[in-house]
Structure 1
Amino acid sequence: MTTVITQSLSLDEFLKLPEITPAREYIDGEIFQKPMPKGKHSRLQLKLCNSINDVAETAKIAYAFPELRCSFDVRSIVPDIAVFNWSRIPFAADGEVPNDFLISPDWTIEILSPEQSSNRVIDNILYCLDHGCQLGWLIDPEDRSILILRPHQQPELLRGDRQLPVLTGIELELTVTQVFGWLKMSN
């Protein structure tokens, strides 16, 4: 279960706290500690980041960041994967990636852990969509399904050989079966 830390802090005060592992999120004035990622979660997170970055980074289309703190409006969240269109990455003057991202991702991906509240995770995806995000995925490894959320559209629950939507410009073709196939590592 996600730990709720009852402490009255502003977002600015929260952002001055030292980072810890697993990450904490600031939502509606409360601090929530995310669960520690486990095997399935870590495997899916790494494979998805690598798959997205393999087709999008060199062409400077987008970049997938694992566990990146995104602070915008009144929340500070840490999506499992935050994908930003290249043109929206707030590079520093020297061209380096910054430490602080004060904008919502263009595509947010969450991988549900058994001890997480699906509604709390969906709430974070919806919050991103309300603040400019174009696409959200909620991956449920136990159910072998991926919930697709987009602004102003009915959610879709995809299973099996259904093609997964990605951000415009990213040439990545994945099915739900392929994503969950990454969990098998031995013959």
Structure 2
Amino acid sequence: MGAAEKLQEHFTYADYAKWPEDERWELIEGVAYAMAAPSRQHQKIVLKVGNQIDRYLEGKSCEVYPAPFDIRLPNHNEADNDVDTTVQPDLAVICDKNKLDDKGCRGAPDWIIEVLSPSTALKDMDKKRWLYERHGVKEYWIIHPIDRWVMVYTLKDDGQYGLPLMFGMDEPTAVGLFPELLIDWGFMQETTT
């Protein structure tokens, strides 16, 4: 099946699991979205931020996973094959080990980070923001590497994200879920040169 056909049908995880491993796709409510190869800068940010999170979480119950790592988001209790949303955020922190299996994660991670790329910026800022809110992701970070800012959404008691907080990368950013964890952006000086 070609890319054009994937963009015209409603798919589930059963379909997704059969697609070639050398192609990267996400499913959002049954719609397939092709994922472009990330830039070097994008990958450096994912690596540096992921390493800081991983060091902090050492010996704790939560774990961080970088893409490609499948996050299946069921609407109810449907079987995996019937799940129509599978995403691959750049970084996902999962604290409930019962959500983890050999396929990845079934259910909402506690914290998701997306690094914006020109080809996915609108999807990350709109579709995924609503999707993550609806599924109960407690904290959602969007990193803009060019303009050097971080947008942070935090899930409120009513199950909705409040207004986002914006942070520049001139000083470390505290993590709401782990207040003693500060993400240091010093490596960004190297990334932009």
Task: Decide: shared fold, TM above 0.5.
Answer: yes
- The aligned runs of 1:34-73 (5 Å cut-off) are 34-57=35-58, 59-67=59-67, 68-73=69-74
By how many angstroms is 1:31 displaced?
A: 0.6
Unaligned runs of 5+ in 2: 75-83, 156-160
Aligned to 1:89: 97
By how many angstroms is 1:140 displaced?
A: 0.9
Whole-Å separation in 2 of the counterparts to 1:8 and 1:101: 24
Aligned to 1:146: 150
Aligned to 1:121: 124
How large is the Cα RMSD of the aligned pairs? 2.5
Whole-Å separation in 2 of the counterparts to 1:109 and 1:135: 8
By how many angstroms is 1:135 displaced?
A: 0.6
TM-score, normalisation: structure 1? 0.80
TM-score, normalisation: structure 2? 0.77
8 A Cα contact 2:113 2:140, kept in partner: yes
Unaligned runs of 5+ in 1: none
Aligned to 1:166: 175
SS of aligned partner of 1:13? helix
C-alpha distance 72-160 of structure 1, shift in aligned 2 (>3 A): closer
By how many angstroms is 1:51 displaced?
A: 0.7
Aligned to 1:10: 11
8 A Cα contact 2:11 2:32, kept in partner: no
The amino acid that maps onto 2:57 is A
C-alpha distance 140-179 of structure 1, shift in aligned 2 (>3 A): farther
By how many angstroms is 1:40 displaced?
A: 0.5
Aligned to 1:180: 188
